[in-house]
Amino acid sequence: MKRIFKNILFKILNTPEKVNTSIFSGLSRGIQNVMFEGNNAVPDGCNFSGKVSVGYATTLGYNNFIHGDVKIGKYCQLGVGVAVFTKNHPTNYMSTYINKNLFNGELKQLRKESEVVIGHDVWIGHNVIIVGNVNIGNGAILAAGSVVTKDVAPYSIVAGVPAKELRKRYADSIIKEIETLKWWDKSEKELEKIKPLFFKDFTNKTSIYE
């Protein structure tokens, strides 16, 4: 009986709910802190605080933790367990402790606060952690398990702890063309016209129009 009740409760809690054009599944906290542009997907266990914006068609992963002043662009994909933190404990003072148990939490005012900006069409892998004052360029790929503490160049692939650039995805000429095209800002009709470009392999190419 207990198992049946659990299964029923699980199905109820995980039934997708459509709000405007975005889909929410399971239980997430702090949704009121987020501005969604539309066509977003938010699965179970996500947690938000601060001032967060999520661009059009960006999809989140299970148990994403996004805290602070965070801007995420359009058409991004976040894997399971991704965490973004823009606030950090003070490190140049007597203590890093900011809980209310010490001086009623007054040391919280010493906490460092910054901003994370994630561009468009960014793929963030499983368990990636992004901390500090960081800008992630358009089209970047953050490999699973990476800890990102510095800016990431557009269309680069980074990995490791701390994350370092492995390589660029394309030739610089192609990167320039895509940045000029700004396909993420186009309407569905406009995207249909350039649809063949999305099926091209740019390996060893110097132009998206070859």
Q: Is 30 exposed, middle or buried (0-12, 13-18, 19+ CB in 10 A)?
A: middle
Catalytic residue list? 89
Tokens of 159: 């990995």
Reduced DSSP (H G I as helix, E B as strand, rest coil) percent helix, strand, coil of the chain, to 5:
20, 30, 45
d(CA 157, CA 176): 17
d(CA 22, CA 30): 16
